[in-house]
Structures are given as C-alpha cells and as structure tokens.
Amino acid sequence: MGLSNLKSKFMTRNDCYTARRKITPKGIMVHSTATPGVMAADWFSRWNKSYKAGEINRQVCVHAFIDDKEVWQYLPWNHRGWHAGGDANNTHIGFEICEPGGFSYSGGSTMVDYDVKKNEAYFRAAWKNAVELCVYLCKIYNLTEKDILSHAEGNKKGIASNHSDVGHWFPKHGENMDSFRAAVKKVLDMKDSPNVKEDFNAGDIVEIKAPATRYYPGGPIIPTWVKGTYHLITQTEFNGKSVVKGGKACVLLGKKISKENGDDSPGIMTWVDKDFLSIISKGAEAEPEPKGDQKYYKVQVGAFSKKENAEALMARLKQAGFDAYMKYD
C-alpha cells in the first residue's frame, strides 16, 4: 500500500533534523495546526529554519503535515520529532492536520466564526488523508489503531504538553478520536488491505539496515560509507521482472541522499536485498523504470588479456560497493 499523495522534502535546516536522533516508533500522535488557512506545503518555508541560528523562535518539528489534497513528509519516520512537548517525542510519529481558513482563535482553543457547513468537504478530505496515513504507518511499524492518540490524549497520559488538539475541532463535524481510530481499524481489517512492509517503489528513500554485511546473500561486502547515507531506489524490476540475487528479491539503489542536508549525489547503482532495507520516506521523484524494449548504455571499465588482471579489477569494484561481472569475448 502506497500513498499516492505523499510527498517528501526533509527540513534539513531544522535543528530537529540535524540532531539525527532516531526512535523506534511505538505509536502515532495526531495534531492540528491551529493556524487557519496555512496548508501542508506552506509549512516547509515556515519551519525549515534553525533555532540555534536565531532563524525561528521555537524548537519544533513534526514528521508530516496533511491537508485536503496532500501529505507532506518533512522528517524521516524514524527520526525523533519535536511535536509532543513530552516523552511521546521518544516513541511517537507526529503529524499535523492543517485547518481551513476563514475563522480565528480566541482564548486558546476556541474557534471563532468557524463555518461547519462550509468546511465540511475540506474536513472530510483531510480526515480521509489522515486515516490513510495512519493505516500506512501502522503497516510499516506493526501498529494498530490502539496505538494512535491525539495531543490532548497524550497530555492526559502524561506524555505530551497541555494542548487541546484535536478535541476542539473534530466534534464540530461529529467526530472524535474514537471514531478516528475506528476508521483506521476498518481499513486495517480489510482482507485485501496490502502489506506495505515489502512495498518498495522507484523513488522511495531507504536506509540499509545495520546488521546487513552484504548487498545480498553471497554478494559484495557493503562498505562502511554506504551505511552512512540514505539511498534512492531507482528500479524494482528489470525487463518487467523482479530481480533475484542470492535467492532474494532485490531493488536497485541509485543516488545517495545525505543524512545531513538531504542533498543527492551519484550513488552505488547496486541491487540490494529488500529485506536489508528500511523505508525512510515514500514517493520522492525518480527516473521512470526502463521498459523491456528499451536500449541501454553500458560502461566497461577495463579489458585484459590475462584473466587474473580482470579478476583483480572486479574484486576492487566489488570492494568499492559496485556490482560487477566478467565476460570473455
């Protein structure tokens, strides 16, 4: 299961991102922005700033923002966010649902001149996107609807600061966190609901798991530097078929993505066992997968009259992290 409207652009300037602290997600916390009319894509320019450098007056960052049209992921799911104001930062993925415009706030969480009828269509579309994101994350991290709570519920449990979201907004449309969890459960319980753990697509950003030592069983040893960066999946098939190496289904990793600033650069261009990969984000831009009748440019790095010289070069290529083969003509 993928999210067709999920887009990724990491807030690499935000101190939360540069802290590079990781979590093992144990739950999901639902927030709403309390900033009428500011949509998901708008928050990148607002929060991709450094508190340490005096560019922003808050130490804050969530994993994603949702509106009625799209989902923007701004932190890797396994990065520790600054969204709860409490211990939930160490355990929960947090996302904000953007609120529509045309009203204001008074006395903290009181919505003034909020037109329920006018905003019903927006609310339902944003609600649907939030449910789908929760289903997606539950499937990745083996969670259930019981692991989802709001910021306000987190405060009652002593793991989040004193905020009222989303209890000040959902009831206006006849909903609450119980009905939200029920909506998530309904999708999770569908028999044809796919398992996203193995759903790797071209354009996904991934990380090679720490225990992995070779790209695939019997394949080249993974150099240390390869584990120090993220990678962009370039292909999941070749000539319309899955690629199997060492008895394991593989995907092709192309560009490397810096963990420090999100910049991309030429990568390993090597097939890697899918079981050795963790998804960092879905849906980044990627080159389209080649079709079966497409012609390819091939690069030859050496030609030798002696087999041992060819074997020596191939060994160096594999040591450097490249997949290589030898052909005798």
Residue 268 is part of a domain; what is its CATH number? Answer: 2.30.30
Residue-level pLDDT at 286? 40
Q: Are 160 and 60 in contact (CB under 8 A)?
A: no
User: What is the extent of the structural domain holding 288?
Assistant: 200-296
Alpha helix locations (H) across the chain? 15-19, 43-47, 116-141, 151-156, 177-188, 307-319
Residue-level pLDDT at 287? 40
Residues 123 and 154 in one domain: yes
Residue 112 located in a structural domain: yes
Residue 41, classified by CB atoms within 10 Å of its CB into exposed (0-12), middle (13-18) or buried (19+), is: middle
Residues 122 and 18 in one domain: yes
Q: List Cβ neighbours of 303 (8 Å cut-off, separation of 6 or more).
A: none
Residues 214 and 88 in one domain: no
Residue 308 located in a structural domain: no
Residue 301 located in a structural domain: no
Strand partners, 22: 79
Q: Residue 318 in 3-state DSSP?
A: helix
Residue-level pLDDT at 295? 53
Q: Residue 27 in 3-state DSSP?
A: strand
Question: Burial code of 93-130, b = ≥16 C-beta within 10 A, e = fewer?
Answer: bbbbbbbbeebeeeeeeebeebeeeebeebbeebbebb
Residue-level pLDDT at 75? 93
If one counts every other C-beta atom within 10 angstroms of the C-beta of residue 222, the result is 18
Rounded to whole angstroms, how far apart are CA atoms 98 and 46? 14
- List pLDDT tens digits, range 309-320: 777 777 666 555
Q: How far apart are the first and last CA of the chain?
A: 45
Residues 206 and 114 in one domain: no
Residues 125 and 162 in one domain: yes
Residue 319 located in a structural domain: no
If we measure between CA atoms, which residue out of 182, 14, 175, 6 comes closest to residue 95?
Answer: 6
Q: Are strands 277-281 and 205-208 parallel, antiparallel or unpaired?
A: antiparallel
Residue-level pLDDT at 1? 47
Place of tokens 């083969």: 325
Residues 125 and 33 in one domain: yes
Q: Are 45 and 75 in contact (CB under 8 A)?
A: no
If we measure between CA atoms, which residue out of 124, 117, 153, 132 comes closest to residue 29?
Answer: 153
Residues 141 and 271 in one domain: no
Q: For the chain, what is the domain count?
A: 2
Helix (H) or strand (E) holding 112: strand 110-112
Strand partners, 65: 72, 96
**Which parts of the chain register pLDDT below 50?**
1, 197-198, 284-292, 294
Cα dihedral 8/13/18/22 (nearest 10):
-30
Q: Are 130 and 173 in contact (CB under 8 A)?
A: no
Cα atoms found within 13 Å of the Cα of residue 256, Cβ hemisphere only: 16
Q: Does the model's pTM come out above 0.85?
A: no
- List pLDDT tens digits, range 188-240: 998 555 555 446 888 889 999 989 999 999 999 999 999 989 999 999 888 88
Residues 140 and 22 in one domain: yes
Cα dihedral 4/10/14/17 (nearest 10):
110
Residues 157 and 239 in one domain: no
Residue-level pLDDT at 284? 44
Residues 84 and 214 in one domain: no
**Residue 109 CA to its chain's centroid (Å):** 30
